Amino acid sequence: MVEIVVTCFIFQMQKSLVLLFVGVALSGALKFEPRCGPAPPPANTGPDSALLPNISLPLNYLIDVLYVKNATMGNETAAVHEEVFDGRFILSKLNHTGKYLLLNRANDKIFARDGIYGNVGELPHVFELPDEAVSFFGLKAYRVGELIDAIVENSKQSRFANTSLIFPAELVAGLPAVHWVGCNNSGNTILQVEVAYVDNAVPPPSPKISNPVILSFDVTTYKVIANTTELLSRSSFQVTFIDVAESHSVQEKQKIPRGTHCENMPKSDLPANMPSKFEIKFQYVDTEFKNIDYVETIYDAEHRVGLFTLDLKKDLDLAALGHVVLNKTWDKVDVVHDFTYGFQYVLSPDRSRCYDVAAINGDFGDVKMTSDRKMDLSEAKEFLLGLSESPFYYDGEITGEAGEPLDKYVAKVVDNGQNYSVVEILFTKKGWSVGSAASDVQTLYSVTHFHKNEKNVLWKTTTVKMNEFIDRSTEGTQWTTLNIASCLKFAKNSYFYVKLASCSMAKLASVGFDRVGSTLFETLAKFANVSVLRFAEPHYEQVDSDVYVYFALSEVLGKKPADTVDRKSELPLANVTAAMNATLASKDLTFMVKSGKVQEKFTLAKNAFGFAPSGPAPKPLPPSEPFKGYSGGSMFVLGLFMFLFGAFASVGGLILYWRTSRGRISGNVYQVFEMKSIRSSSEQALKYVEKASRIKISDLRDNPGARVAGRVLKSTMNQAGHTIGELQRAAKPPLGWIWGDFFRPWHRMFPGDDHFNGDINLRREYPPISLLELQRLIDLDYLDTSKLIDLSALCSTKQFKCEPSQRQFGVQLTDEGAGIFKSKVNLEVQWASATAIAAIEKAGGRIRTAYYDLESLRAASDPKTWFQSGQPVPMRKAPPQQLVSYYRNPANRGYLAEPSAIAESEERLAELMGYERHTRTTEFEEKARDQVFLGIPPGSLVSLADRKVFYPTTPAVEEYYKQQLISDHPR
């Protein structure tokens, strides 16, 4: 029994080990003895004409066999595995010449040799039986089960000339076996069939199989000439394991391995039905470059626009890349194709930089060439796969990583004269929804390229797996997120506004600002007959019951376009403005915005189209010094005036009394004069008090953070400074208390200001640093002028401190020391005067003012503590509404201003201040608008111990940190 199990285990091992142990496993097999003559049978032979018991295999079975052939034409040794279920079967044979595989499936028959698969009309025979056996059994056996059934059936029908039963005498595989022999003579050739089986001595290994169980059988032919036996052929089968086959096991083993192409399969069409507008995000895996990349695709057939994000050097199997060759210095880029106007835009992945604007390159995979050699946007299926012309065949259903059922389609693509690729495309089954795609259609799941050489050896695998699918056919493309503003040209007259009548910001938010802006751009582009890609930077402002939308409209590019189907020519900005004026001067325009199940109607008011206000916006004033209460000096002056008032009143009363008692008429005149003087002093005191701020109990509170919680006195111990007297257990009087009427002091008799210091929690403080102090830090090597000097660099010197908890929003650069500042620096501050800006640029440097929200300030002011806390790097928010104009003003060098406008402002400032503007020979480092630390994207984790930066890879997290800038609320 042990030997049987071990032999079965050996069969599952590699080819070399199987052949090595075949001889050992056959040591217990049947020894050839010519039992059919001419010698008499052994003494322990049972009765003649014995029938073979029912040792047939079950209807659905699994069997492992070691096969040995001895013949005059050659010898063979092989290991055979066979599984049968409901007529379908799998048979594998392994010998020294290779591995053979036979698959009898429901609709086809597959034969494979050494990994080469083909669909054949009839399966070949893997066992060579002598002609006498083929004639006797009436078959050419290619299955072990069929051969065993034929032996049993011929025994039942008594077709053997004589049979005999030999009782246990020899061990087969360590088991006591009963031998059955059947003979048939055909002339001088004798056919001998010998079967060994276990009767009831030992139970079989599988509980699903019952005795008798076959152990081995031989099919032998030999001749007897002059009492001499001559062996002609012998086929020996030793059974190592028998069990009942399961349907799932047979179905799985009948599947052609992934990455394998089967020849002569019937062609089949791909089932992908893609909408006219969609967005897809893929995960691209390349085993050669050991690279995992994320690819974004936007397709809009209505506007004939396609976008794809890819790595030009690594994402070689993406359909959109095609056979294009671009600038070798570019790595990962965003490519936007506008087939309506024939332009190609190449941008950085964050679309903040424009690499190139040119005519569409026809070598890209999304370009379809018409019969008249014009370019057009390819169909959605071709846009994604690029293999629609390749002959695909359907290869059944497989199971995905999470157990989801998938339909598999396979094609073979020849890369060159020797190498080829097996392309495997998986689609979801009907009933499964992917993202916003409907569940009644099959959606693309993944595309895998298995690259093989001429020896059929796999050397590279690339997989493109869909992570997210968004159907935009109903809502429309998000043009505000597809921002190519860095590739467009803007002039002073490129900024416009329109009015959404009877609208509110809440209504815009209900359907989404991006959806409103995108649909608005489509509406304006339709009536102005321009490309929707020329619109950029929408901004919304509530005015009374209307909303004004400010936007930018670019000039013509001035480039030569590609020859595309139905190409339109670019219109100059003046013509576009005239067309929009003519449209909005005659009527209101309405458009519908859909977002999910929400649908809103918007109206563009008639005669409400114009140029946006131009010129620099007024500079926001720094926050004023917070009120800290009345000083001791002011209280002293108030007391002095009150004292003088009392003194004058007393003296005047005495004089009046004295004059009255004397009864002189002249005294009356003097009294009037004296009273006039007294009244003047009182009026002066009252006017001073009237100009002072109203004070009441609610105003007497500390500034935030001025006090900490102290010891609370109990009522019995609340002496608080009093040691004797009737108020010994009372609290001290408040500051400024006037003794007199205890319950009606003067500051309780006048109303107070309900909004006194009401905005103290909204004020922003910008700690100053002068140019003199900045030069000193540079001279003492606290700062490196070759790198960007920002808030983190200043705080790391420990000579400057910014505390976000005290509502300090960064650094304010003052102009003290402007005449001696000589360092060429790349500086980023939060506030700066014109004189300080001029001093930086006069020295050849560069300065930008940038806004940081409180969370970003906490990270930037103390990076080490932030990194050690394990929190991701935050995404820097855009400034609140009241600061947008400051940071968009090029005169302030705001980081939201256009680079061209900043360059013009630098020239004007140089002319105004009377210095020569330096020509920059090197590019300064610059942060992205949402970055806190240079070179570290938002959402990253920084490990100081490992000295590594971990980027987010989860699609949901990536989507969160790649969203449009969010404005900071005014807090």
pLDDT of residue 836: 96
pLDDT of residue 728: 52
From-to residues of CATH 2.50.20 in the chain:
2-253, 273-324+362-471
State the average pLDDT over residues 722-740: 60
Range of weakest confidence among 75-79, 198-202, 460-464, 615-619: 615-619
Q: Is the dihedral of CA 501, 502, 506, 511 positive or negative?
A: negative
Dmax (CA) for the chain in angstroms is 187
| pLDDT tens sequence across 826-883 | 999 999 999 999 999 999 999 999 999 999 999 999 999 999 999 999 999 999 988 9
pLDDT of residue 878: 92
State the average pLDDT over residues 119-147: 79
pLDDT tops 50 at residue 364: yes
pLDDT tops 90 at residue 811: yes
| pLDDT tens sequence across 47-58 | 666 767 778 888
pLDDT of residue 841: 94
pLDDT tops 70 at residue 9: no
Burial of 31 (C-beta count, 10 Å sphere; 0-12/13-18/19+): exposed
Q: Which two tokens stand for residue 601?
A: 């109607």
pLDDT tops 60 at residue 713: no
What SS3 state is found at 383? helix
Instruction: Give the number of other CB atoms < 10 A from CB of residue 8.
Output: 17
Instruction: Give the number of other CB atoms < 10 A from CB of residue 344.
Output: 22
pLDDT of residue 176: 78
| pLDDT tens sequence across 559-600 | 899 999 989 888 888 888 888 888 887 788 888 888 877 888
Closest listed residue to residue 510, CA positions, set 602, 608, 605: 602
pLDDT of residue 10: 32
Do 694 and 753 form a contact (C-beta atoms < 8 A)? Answer: yes
pLDDT of residue 673: 44
Of 441-445, 451-455, 889-893, which one has max mean pLDDT? Answer: 889-893
Do 237 and 217 form a contact (C-beta atoms < 8 A)? Answer: yes
Instruction: Give the number of other CB atoms < 10 A from CB of residue 137.
Output: 21
**Domain at 273-324+362-471: CATH code:** 2.50.20
Range of weakest confidence among 340-354, 555-569, 646-660, 668-682: 668-682
Do 841 and 848 form a contact (C-beta atoms < 8 A)? Answer: no
Range of weakest confidence among 543-547, 568-572, 711-715: 711-715
**Domain at 768-961: CATH code:** 3.100.10.10
Give how far Cα 223 sits from Cα of 493, 849, 915, Å. Answer: 109, 106, 118
655: pLDDT confidence band, cut at 50, 70 and 90? confident
> Tokens 């947008």 map to which residue?
884
710: pLDDT confidence band, cut at 50, 70 and 90? low
| pLDDT tens sequence across 458-501 | 888 988 888 888 888 888 888 888 888 889 988 888 888 899 98
Range of weakest confidence among 621-635, 813-827, 863-877: 621-635
pLDDT of residue 822: 93
Q: Where is pLDDT greater, at 735 or 5?
A: 735
pLDDT of residue 645: 86
208: pLDDT confidence band, cut at 50, 70 and 90? confident
pLDDT of residue 368: 87
> Rounded CA gap, 898 and 817, in Å?
29
Instruction: Give the number of other CB atoms < 10 A from CB of residue 24.
Output: 12
**Domain at 2-253: CATH code:** 2.50.20
| Contact residues for 175 (Cβ-Cβ < 8 A; gap 6+) | 1, 4, 198, 201, 202, 215
Burial of 72 (C-beta count, 10 Å sphere; 0-12/13-18/19+): exposed
Do 498 and 455 form a contact (C-beta atoms < 8 A)? Answer: no
402: pLDDT confidence band, cut at 50, 70 and 90? confident
pLDDT of residue 140: 62
> Rounded CA gap, 675 and 678, in Å?
5
Range of weakest confidence among 53-57, 374-378, 379-383, 718-722: 718-722
Do 828 and 811 form a contact (C-beta atoms < 8 A)? Answer: no
Do 102 and 91 form a contact (C-beta atoms < 8 A)? Answer: yes
Mean model confidence pLDDT for the chain? 81
From edge to edge, which strands make up the β-sheet containing 788-789? 788-789, 826-829, 846-849
| pLDDT tens sequence across 498-516 | 999 889 988 888 888 888 9
> Rounded CA gap, 589 and 591, in Å?
7
816: pLDDT confidence band, cut at 50, 70 and 90? very high
Q: Which amino acid is at 633?
A: G
> Rounded CA gap, 357 and 822, in Å?
39
> Rounded CA gap, 801 and 797, in Å?
9
Distance of CA 441 to the CA centre of its chain: 25
539: DSSP letter: E
Q: Which two tokens stand for residue 443?
A: 């959606």
Instruction: Give the number of other CB atoms < 10 A from CB of residue 38.
Output: 11
pLDDT tops 80 at residue 938: yes
From-to residues of CATH 3.100.10.10 in the chain:
768-961
pLDDT tops 90 at residue 808: yes
542: DSSP letter: E
711: DSSP letter: P
Q: Which two tokens stand for residue 82?
A: 């066979």
pLDDT tops 80 at residue 718: no
278: pLDDT confidence band, cut at 50, 70 and 90? confident
Q: To which H or E segment does residue 232 belong? A: strand 228-244
Q: To which H or E segment does residue 907 belong? A: helix 899-913
Do 384 and 444 form a contact (C-beta atoms < 8 A)? Answer: yes
Q: Which two tokens stand for residue 162?
A: 């004589």
CA-only gyration radius of the chain, Å = 47
Do 525 and 471 form a contact (C-beta atoms < 8 A)? Answer: no
State the average pLDDT over residues 397-411: 87
Range of weakest confidence among 16-25, 57-66, 785-794: 16-25
pLDDT tops 50 at residue 914: yes
pLDDT of residue 142: 66
| pLDDT tens sequence across 153-195 | 888 887 887 777 776 656 777 777 888 888 888 777 888 898 8
pLDDT of residue 626: 60
pLDDT of residue 41: 56
Percent above pLDDT 70 for the chain:
83
> Rounded CA gap, 215 and 237, in Å?
9
668: pLDDT confidence band, cut at 50, 70 and 90? very low
Hey, which residues does 196 pair with through a beta bridge? 179, 216
Q: Which two tokens stand for residue 632?
A: 């001791």
> Rounded CA gap, 346 and 326, in Å?
10
667: pLDDT confidence band, cut at 50, 70 and 90? very low
